[in-house]
Every structure is written in structure tokens, then in C-alpha cells.
Amino acid sequence: MRPILRTGYAAAALACACLLPGLSARSAQAGPNEARLKAAIIYNLAKYVTWPGDTLAQGQITLCAFGKDEAEQALDEVDGRQAQGMVVRVRKLRALDEIKSCHVVYLAASEYRASDALARAAANLPALTVSERDAFAESGGMIGLVTVDERIRFDINVAAAQKNRLAISSNLLKLARNVIGVH
């Protein structure tokens, strides 16, 4: 596995994105600022994951979004940015069976009923799954975004990530509200 981070700078940047008082979930009132913050967090998660072998052989990280919400729309702003020295490409999915070429899959809040289908579609694929659905990480998703004390936080299911051959940086685990599936 290749190293994720050279310094703690990226960890500090993600921590700031998650905890900035000026960009709290309440102050944004589920509007464009909150959506942009969630999109930035989803993008930054790709900096903390190691995918197996030649999964990233194309030299890009494909961030896929399924469903419609403001965070899904705000993800367009991260298209073309760099993560781990690779270009991040954002793709909108029409169906969950299209995730085979995705490295990160965001399930929009509007698609809360599709979380079980996402788990089935992502089974054994090296794709990081992220959603705002209640108890997403507890129910088998990898990273669940949650709002706590007016701030966007996240829960991480390490066992689910390991099952799909993904390694999540300890720097990210330190920032999580809850880490599930650690032995």
C-alpha cells in the first residue's frame, strides 16, 4: 500500500472543514454553504483512502453520486481537483449498477431507501460508500455524514471498508465521531 499523507496537513484541513463554526450545518440551514461543505468533505475523504493494487491505474479517482440533493450538485465544484496526485472526476449515476468504475460513491439524502441496494451493488468492489442516511455506517455503509451540535461530523465503518479491500488512514479515523468494526 502506498502512503496516504506526507504530513498531518490534510488531516488538519479536513478537521477544519468539519468543525468550522462559520460553516456549521445550522448556520447554513441546509442551503448552498452546507451543501458545499459536505461536497468538500466527500472530496477530502478520497485523500485518506488506499485502494487495492491497480484500482487507480487510470490515474484518476472517480467520485460518483447517486440521487439528487444540494450536496450532489455541489460535487461538480470538485471535478478536476487533485487527490493523492490524481485528478478527481465526478460522475452522476442513473442506476446503482453503474458503480463498477467508481472509487467513491455518494448516496444523496434523497435516496435513503436505496442504501440496501447500494450495499449490494458495492459488495466486494473497491468503492468507498458515503451517505447522510441515518445510521448509514452502522448498517454497513462505510462513511456516514451526520450533523452533531450544528456541525457536520462522520462515522466510519472500518470493517465494511476492509471487506472491500480499502484502507482508511488513521488520520481520518482520529477525526471520526464513531469508528465501527475495529477489533
- How high is the pLDDT of residue 81? 97
Q: For residues 153 and 143, what is the distance between their CA atoms, to the nearest angstrom?
A: 10
The whole domain housing 149 covers: 9-180
pTM: 0.82
Burial of residue 144 (CB within 10 Å: 0-12, 13-18, 19+) is buried
DSSP codes of every residue in 59-94: SEEEEEEES-SHHHHHGGGGTT-EETTEEEEEEEES
- How high is the pLDDT of residue 14? 54
Q: pLDDT tens digit string along 122-148?
A: 888 999 999 998 899 999 999 999 998
Q: What is the CATH number of the domain that holds 111?
A: 3.40.50.2300
Which stretches of the chain drop beneath a pLDDT of 50?
1-13, 15-16, 18-29
* Dihedral angle of Cα 123, 127, 131, 136, to the nearest 10 degrees: 40
Side chain identity, residue 58 = Q
Residue 3 lies in a domain: no
- How high is the pLDDT of residue 24? 40
Residue 1 lies in a domain: no
Q: pLDDT tens digit string along 21-45?
A: 333 444 334 566 889 999 999 999 9
Residue 2 lies in a domain: no
State the total domains in the chain: 1
Residue 30 lies in a domain: yes
